[in-house]
């Protein structure tokens, strides 16, 4: 099953679902050709703000709009409309951001959604999700779409390298390997890179934990606490600015619970990434498995890590 098949199945079973797009049909290309759904498909054109306003109106009338646009334009161009029309009213509008983070690989800074987690989680009531790959996304979406809250999901079509836990629960992380000497906290498409980095580190004798932080808001505070208390080093890996993403989330949780931990961030350090093919972006920005493993070893060897 793919994204289009999943949303078709859910929409056919529940007439409240309305499928909307701002001229971004990559995930839902064949929906308008389905006679049963043609009158519940709306393409507003390149008008993300209009789409959100319409979605809010439909939600007020008992519908569940699932809206699609490029992640950068959905979260930034339409931000005020999401905040005001959807957030303040706490409407169950479901936002699907296409090519988020490094998945916009060949596109320049204008198309890079690498502050989207920060922006969306700042809206009261908004839920935020970042699946590790296509399989993870399809496991998560039914619960996300059926929740009573507005939600933003980073769309991810990366093929899986890991068989994910099918029992997805909003607000719970997926523990791939229990916290250990080194524990990785990661979300989104970099999960595959970290999974391979884990294998490299284990081949060198390191004990490695790995957590898929696929629900970023609400977040699984307990697994963050467990990682902080049980690990010599917590490594956060994300295709997002260091500010506002998982690094900030972890800092907030530790401060809330008056805990400290050795934390190392592998993220985009206050700059946009260089546009290129995805493999080249990963190499240039130090997100390959080998480079993640190497940075982790250096952080482990350091005796002057700042605690947060």
pLDDT for 161-181, tens place per residue?
999 999 999 999 999 999 999
Please give the Cα distance from 84 to 254 (Å, whole number).
30
Average pLDDT over residues 190-205: 97
What is the layout of strands, in order, in the sheet containing 174-177? 174-177, 208-212, 182-186, 233-241, 263-268
Place of tokens 């890179």: 193
- Region of 169 please: left (phi>0), alpha (psi -120 to 50) or beta: beta
Please give the Cα distance from 189 to 198 (Å, whole number).
15
Tell me what percent of the residues of the chain surpass a pLDDT of 90.
97
Average pLDDT over residues 285-289: 98
Confidence of residue 302 (pLDDT cuts 50, 70, 90): confident
Q: Say if residue 308's pLDDT is above 80.
A: no
Instruction: Kindly report the backbone phi and psi dihedral angles of residue 29, in degrees, each rounded to the nearest multiple of 5, phi listed first.
Output: -60, -35
Contact 260, 306 (CB under 8 A): no
Tell me what percent of the residues of the chain surpass a pLDDT of 70.
98
Q: Which two tokens stand for residue 102?
A: 């490094």
- pLDDT for 270 equals 87
Q: Say if residue 304's pLDDT is above 50.
A: no
> Which 3 state secondary structure label does DSSP give 137?
helix
Q: Say if residue 188's pLDDT is above 80.
A: yes
At 4-14, the pLDDT tens digits run 999 999 999 99
């Amino acid at each position: 099953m793919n994204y289009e098949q999943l949303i078709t199945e859910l929409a056919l079973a529940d007439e409240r679902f309305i499928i909307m797009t701002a001229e971004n049909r990559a995930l839902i290309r064949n929906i308008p050709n389905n006679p049963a759904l043609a009158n519940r498909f709306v393409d507003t054109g390149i008008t993300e703000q209009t789409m959100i306003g319409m979605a809010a109106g439909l939600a007020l009338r008992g519908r569940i709009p699932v809206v699609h646009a490029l992640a950068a334009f959905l979260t930034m161009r339409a931000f005020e409309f999401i905040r005001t029309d959807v957030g303040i009213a706490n409407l169950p509008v479901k936002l699907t951001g296409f090519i988020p983070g490094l998945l916009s690989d060949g596109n320049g800074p204008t198309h890079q959604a690498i502050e989207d987690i920060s922006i969306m989680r700042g809206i009261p009531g908004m839920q935020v999700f970042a699946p590790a790959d296509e399989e993870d996304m399809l496991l998560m979406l039914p619960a996300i779409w059926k929740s009573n809250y507005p939600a933003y999901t980073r769309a991810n079509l990366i093929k899986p390298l890991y068989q994910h836990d099918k029992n997805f629960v909003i607000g719970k992380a997926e523990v791939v390997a229990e916290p250990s000497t080194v524990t990785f906290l990661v979300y989104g498409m970099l999960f595959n890179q970290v999974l391979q980095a884990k294998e490299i580190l284990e081949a060198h004798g390191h004990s490695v934990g790995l957590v898929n932080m696929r629900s970023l808001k609400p977040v699984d505070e307990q697994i963050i606490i467990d990682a902080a208390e049980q690990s010599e080093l917590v490594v956060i890996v994300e295709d997002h600015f260091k500010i506002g993403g998982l690094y900030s989330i972890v800092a907030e949780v530790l401060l809330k619970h008056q805990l400290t931990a050795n934390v190392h961030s592998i993220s985009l350090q206050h700059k946009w990434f260089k546009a290129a093919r995805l493999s080249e972006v990963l190499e240039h920005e130090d997100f390959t498995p080998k480079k993640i493993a190497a940075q982790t070893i250096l952080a482990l060897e350091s005796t002057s890590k700042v605690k947060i």
